[in-house]
């Protein structure tokens, strides 16, 4: 029996409009985690949700961008 979702990773990239956009190469996805204070940690930094675009990286390396509602 396989478990769906195994190997998926939440990733983000910094929006061009963010004042932090210089902190990573344009369009580069990096792994993020969420802490108990709802801060997003990744790329050796802590970010607000409004500064990031989110996606899920699948087992095969495919990145599926999550669109805001």
pLDDT tens figures, 5-57: 568 999 999 999 999 999 999 889 999 999 888 889 999 999 999 999 999 99
9 CB-near residues (< 8 Å, 6+ apart): 31, 56, 57
pLDDT of residue 49: 92
pTM of the shown model: 0.82
Q: What's the pLDDT at 37?
A: 84
- Tell whether the model's pLDDT for residue 68 goes beyond 80: no
Check if the beta carbon of residue 26 is closer than 8 Å to that of residue 32.
no
Q: What is the pLDDT of residue 4?
A: 60
């Amino acid at each position: 029996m396989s478990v769906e979702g195994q190997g998926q990773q939440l990733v983000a990239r910094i929006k061009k409009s963010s004042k932090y956009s210089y902190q990573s190469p344009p369009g580069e996805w990096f792994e993020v985690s969420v802490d108990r204070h709802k801060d997003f940690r990744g790329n050796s930094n802590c970010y607000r949700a409004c500064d990031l675009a989110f996606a899920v990286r699948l087992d095969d390396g495919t990145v599926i961008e999550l669109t805001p509602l």
